Structure 1
Amino acid sequence: MKIFALETYIKYSYIVALAAIVISILAWVSELSGMVYVCPYCRVQRTVIGILGIILISPFSYHWIARFMSMVIGTFGVVVAANQHFMGWKKISAGTFQFNDNIVIDPFLLSGLALAGIIGLIYLILFSDKRQELD
């Protein structure tokens, strides 16, 4: 398995989708249990990641409606993640940036990961019809 080959992620997109769904569920559980603070940006990002995971794992992910919906929902998530991430860069420019005491829940790092993850999920959904060719 070539970890840096796009074909690997397309071929194993079901595993990627399951990982996205699990990440979304764990993030929601961490907020609902009070382990992390309530953040509207984070809520949108974790929800979008979960929805895109569900679309990717579904048998109709290759349909144009599913692709269109994933682009609409995903674009919303990307905009929210980019806005949150940019607020961190704004603080860096102002000289007031500081990582969260618990680096695992740092919003700057998590929004950057969410941004990359959402774009990756959208990409895999757009190329989900290639999955059958690689099996």
Structure 2
Amino acid sequence: MILENKDMDKIIDLSCKLLLNRHIVGSSILLVVLFTLVVDVMGLVHPCPYCRTQRLALGVLAIIMMLKAYHVLLARYIAAVIGMTGLVVGIMQNFNHIKKINKGEFDWAGLWIGHPWILSGLAVMALTWQLLLIFDADKQSPRRG
């Protein structure tokens, strides 16, 4: 079955609407955060302070995204502080793995979706997306005219 341009346009429009919906994105990320929290509490993974900090930031931003008053100054201030903390930790974790690559100590054979380098990269992308949605980066500024 070959998709026509109209069908592709509909698929793209739907995916854009889903990715720009604060409630859908926030609840999806919150589900992932809760799942990883359960896995961590059960002791099924190595306790990682980087991961826990990023998980806290993802969870707090997800809760803020689902609030009606996500746009008030206090919510945005909390989102900025906690979100940037999570971003700094995630980027620091990524660069620690890049240091291993430069030293020749990186285990390329162990690279898969559960690898900390991949997971921290995904966390950085999710945190950035959450901050963009909380600060309404998808909406045009009224000052632009």
Name the TM-score class by shorter chain: 0.7 to 0.9
Aligned counterparts of 1:100 and 1:56: Cα–Cα separation in 2: 37
Q: Which residues of 2 match residues 69-84 of structure 1 at below 5 A?
A: 69-84=78-93
Bigger relative contact order (CA 8 A; separation at least 6):
1
**Superposition CA RMSD, Å:** 2.2
Identify the match of residue 55 of structure 1 among 64, 74, 86.
64
TM-score, normalized by length of structure 1? 0.85
Deviation of 1:44 (Å): 0.4
Identify the match of residue 9 of structure 1 among 19, 35, 43.
19
Contact in 1 for aligned 2:132/2:138 (Cα 8 Å) = no
Deviation of 1:100 (Å): 7.5
The question of 1:125 aligning with 2:134 is answered yes
Q: In the alignment, what sits opposite 1:64?
A: 73
Q: In the alignment, what sits opposite 2:98?
A: 89
Aligned counterparts of 2:34 and 2:129: Cα–Cα separation in 1: 18
Deviates more, 1:102-111 or 1:113-122: 102-111
Q: In the alignment, what sits opposite 1:107?
A: 116
Deviation of 1:93 (Å): 1.0
Count of aligned positions: 128
Percent identity (aligned): 32
- 1:100 and 1:109, CA in 2 relative to 1: closer, same or farther beyond 3 A? farther
The residue type equivalent to 2:103 in the other structure is: A
TM-score, normalized by length of structure 2? 0.80
Residue deviations 1:69-127 (CA, integer Å, cap 9, x gap): 10111000000000001111111111110158483421111010001111110110001
Deviation of 1:68 (Å): 1.5
Contact in 1 for aligned 2:26/2:62 (Cα 8 Å) = yes
Q: Which ranges in structure 1 are unaligned for 5 or more consecutive residues?
A: 131-135
Contact in 1 for aligned 2:18/2:25 (Cα 8 Å) = no
> Any runs of at least 4 consecutive aligned residues in structure 1 with deviations exceeding 4 A, and if so which?
99-102
